[in-house]
Structure 1
Amino acid sequence: LPLEAGPEEYERVSKHWGLDQPLHTQYFIFLSKAVRGDFGDSWKWHGESAMGLVAQRLPATLQLAGFALAISLLIALPIGVLAAVMKGNGWDTAAKIIALLGQSLPPFWLGIVLMWIFAVHLGWFPTSGRGGIQHMILPAITLGWFQVAVVMRLLRSSMLDVLDSEFVKLTRIKGLAEWKVVWKHCLRNAAIAPLTVFAIIAGGLMTGAVVTESVFSWPGTGLLVVDAVRARDFQVVQAVVIVFAGIFILTNLVVDILYAYLDPRIRYQ
């Protein structure tokens, strides 16, 4: 409503949105609609339902988060394994430096630096928007950089424990090739520890998309929620929060299933 709106307009809007009802009545009405995915219409985007807007933007966020996760795993897994196998040498030192930088650099700062170097200065990638794979590379690196550090440190620590275990010593005594010992036997057992934080990583990717999408103007739910907060479009903000919470719960379920696959002892229990 404009600042000069009169009492009649306030009363009309309050009645339309149910704000004239008691607080507990408003709460139960909200819950009954939220269960059905009905968060009302957007205040900023007139005529659009809040959940409809989220559904339109969610594929872009999932695409970016999936690409960021793939990049982070492709970087973290080999470096984490090699850092454990070659403990104390150059690989190990490089892994520690990468992990330190990954956990200390803010995503918004990293995104701006990557954009300035590789998009503005070198012109290798576009600065914003959503299109081909070139549009995804810089946002995905920005979004997945912190996850690289987390997975790498956990995998290195877990691999060191597994490499020192009795069954690994037995496989070496039997004459099994070192690469088979590391990649076939050790990695599967060591992967359980990083898997425990996979749900947290997934949550970090979704929430980190808010900053990353704002920096690169990626048209996903992160940019949507920023625009909604600026416009005080609470219906859209509520819809985004509920969807993100649902994704987090679903990710936890998938992690529990993967536990049983990686560790048969959990399956038998």
Structure 2
Amino acid sequence: MLRYVLRRLGQAVVVLWGAITLSFVIVQLTPGDPARLIVMGNGQGDAGAADASQLAQIRDEMGLDQPLVLQYLGYLRRVLTLDWGTAYSRQRQAVATVIGDSLGSTLELGLVSLVLLVLLGVAFALGSVLLPTAWARSTFQAVTVVGIAVPSFVMAILLLQIFSFRLGWFPAFGADGPGSIVLPSLTIALLGAGTLGQVFSRSIREVSAEGYVEVARARGLGNAQVVLSHVLRNASLPVYTIIGMLVGGVVSGAAIIETIFGRPGIGNLYVEAVTARDFPLIQALIVLTGGLYVLVTLVVDLSYPLIDPRVVSPAARGGRR
């Protein structure tokens, strides 16, 4: 067990280091002078005619006036000490302050979306295998396909047209009150629930073909009782994996969803930072997103042994071959 935990922790550190390095490389590969691009992106005049002292100050703050190796080492030090520098697109506020002001709204949207995603995905999967008629099961399977195929902005506009503009049940824009989170979170949840439902239903069917399940049916148990009592636990491992992967989709989808629904948050902050060429803010958001994904994936990986001890048991794994 300890070896398994250490291996997963090592993998998480490597992935997080990769995200940090990627955020550094993005600035280095950007054509032109990053300091001039920051000045131009923030509407402070023509980049070619920018004040020399202003450019020198930005280069000094970002370490751009040092050799590449020292830039990288300095950037790693700033990341480890959470010293992200200045957000030039936000009147030179500290990057940590800007992100902190936006993070709460995105976390709220992400948590609600994940809860709805899991509930809907499990409901789609169970409906596609437990409903008594073939047409009903096919209907649930078709819904999951729609969830995968429809782009997020199309789903958002469709929900807005029906539940906001036509029925008036929920506000269309903003983040005022509990009702404002329903449509954005439902949009994200429906897109991920299709994938989760298909993976889970396929896993249920595969586990249902195992010998011990046939024995349970031979004892006279009904299909629903067999699935709920004997199949779900062993069929849930792929679900944990796909949930960890879908977290990245929730974070990336927030940029589009928050823009469409006019919600403040990390997604909108991404768009603003890229538009303004605010490299320190972009770098911090990349690392934040990567760190969140690594954290969720690590939690999912470490929970595997609690569901199936064979994950960390070489003897059990050998017995299955």
Give TM-score, length-normalised by structure 1: 0.92
Pairing 1:179–2:224 present: yes
Q: Secondary structure at the match of 2:82?
A: coil
1:127 corresponds in structure 2 to 172
Quickly say closer, same or farther: Cα 1:185–1:126, change in 2 above 3 A. same
Q: Does 1:57 align with 2:102?
A: yes
- The 5-angstrom pairing of residues 141-156 of structure 1 reads 141-156=186-201
Q: Is the 8 A contact 1:199 1:251 kept in 2?
A: yes
Residues 46/8 of structure 1: CA separation in 2 closer, same or farther (3 Å cut): closer
1:209 and 1:187, CA in 2 relative to 1: closer, same or farther beyond 3 A? same
Once the two structures are overlaid, the 10-residue window that deviates more, 72-81 or 242-251, is 72-81
Partner of 1:114: 159
- Structure 2: give runs of 5+ residues left out of the alignment: 1-38, 40-44, 315-321
CA distance in 1, matches of 2:220, 2:138: 30
Number of residue pairs the alignment of both structures matches: 269
Letter in 1 for 2:82: G
How much does 1:267 deviate? 4.9
Q: SS of the counterpart of 1:197?
A: helix
- Residues 222-262 of structure 1, C-alpha deviation per residue, up to 9 Å, x if partnerless? 11111111111111111111111111111111111221122
Question: In the alignment, is residue 93 of structure 1 matched against residue 162 of structure 2?
Answer: no
Q: Relative to 1, partners in 2 of residues 1:268 and 1:8: Cα closer, same or farther, differing over 3 Å?
A: closer
Whole-Å separation in 1 of the counterparts to 2:264 and 2:51: 37
Equivalences for residues 179-198 of structure 1 within 5 A = 179-198=224-243
User: Deviation per CA, 1:52-104, whole angstroms, max 9, x where unpaired?
Assistant: 22122122111111111111222221221221234871222112221221111
Report matched runs for 1:1-269 at 5 Å: 1=39, 2-3=45-46, 4-86=49-131, 89-269=134-314
| Aligned-partner residue type, residue 216 of structure 2 | T
The alignment partner of 2:86 has SS state of coil
Q: 1:131 to 1:173 in 2, by over 3 A?
A: same
Identity %: 29
Q: TM-score, normalised by structure 2?
A: 0.78
Which runs of 5 or more residues in structure 1 are unaligned?
none
Give distance in 2, aligned partners of 1:8 and 1:162.
67
Distance 1:238-1:88 versus aligned 2 partners, 3 A rule: farther
Give the aligned partner of residue 28 of structure 2: none
How far residue 42 of structure 1 moved from its aligned partner, in angstroms, is: 0.6
Once residues 248 and 140 of structure 2 are traced to their aligned partners in structure 1, the CA distance between those partners, rounded to angstroms, is 24
Q: CA deviation at 1:133?
A: 2.4
Alignment-mate amino acid for residue 46 of structure 1: Q
Task: Give distance in 1, aligned partners of 2:276 and 2:123.
Answer: 44
* Matched AA of 2:167: L
Match of 1:130, SS?
A: coil
